[in-house]
Amino acid sequence: MAVHNLTADAETFTCNAYLVTGEVTTLVDAGAMSGIVDAIDELDRVVLTHQHGDHVEQLDAVMEAFDPELHAYDDHPGRTHELSDGDTVAIGDEDCEAIHTPGHADDHLAFVSDSTIYSGDVVVHDDGAFDDGSFGRTDMAGQSREELIESIRRILDRLPEGVDSMYAGHGGTFHGDVRAVIERALERAERREPKYPDG
């Protein structure tokens, strides 16, 4: 199994869209980079962390090109499988638990296996606001810092000890002590200070 960030060199604002090869070749979020379908040879499944524009702008193009399964929490015209908290979905060669993690978005899911977390925007390694443990923004309409804090705690409660790879919706990939990164993100979120003080 290999994980490729298809939008790593994007020149437009987008999330990280990860193509995970293996038994079930899976795209985690479709991103907003035009031409992403050209970076994909084959595709079995798309799983969505949430449906903000930077995560789904290219979803229709991906669906049209490959006709994959679409697994998501919220409804979508192309959704083939509804995901709920605690459901299991195969990503690449791993079975991942879907953890409902609202706060940044009501429909947000993180996906956790025995070794890997696809954390979307709820918690990231680095994003320009903080390095080595940051959290999703909650300063826009419909977002909640309190819900986000509870979501990060929920991830920590259900995170297996062996998780050593974090693939987040923004920032860099992290390999190492993922639990420590998430704990630092939680501590920063719990301060209730603005994430972007000048924003």
For range 152-171, the mean pLDDT: 98
Per-residue pLDDT tens over the stretch 32-53? 999 999 999 999 999 999 999 9
At residue 194, the pLDDT reads 85
Both tokens assigned to 72 = 């998501």
CATH of 2-190, one of 3.90.550.10, 3.40.50.740, 3.40.50.150, 3.60.15.10: 3.60.15.10
Per-residue pLDDT at 199 exceeds 70: no
- Share of residues in the chain with pLDDT > 90 (%): 95
Half-sphere exposure for 112 (CA within 13 Å, toward CB):
24
In the chain, where the domains are located: 2-190
Task: Tell me if 188 sits within 8 A of 130, measured CB to CB.
Answer: yes
* Helix 178-190 vs helix 145-158: crossing angle, to nearest 10: 160
Confidence label for 103 from pLDDT (cuts 50, 70 and 90): very high
> What is the model's pTM?
0.97
pLDDT level of residue 198 (50, 70, 90 thresholds): low
Number of Cα atoms under 13 Å in the Cβ half of residue 165 = 11
In 3D, which of 42, 68, 69, 46 has the Cα closest to residue 56? 46
Beta carbons of 116 and 123 less than 8 angstroms apart: no
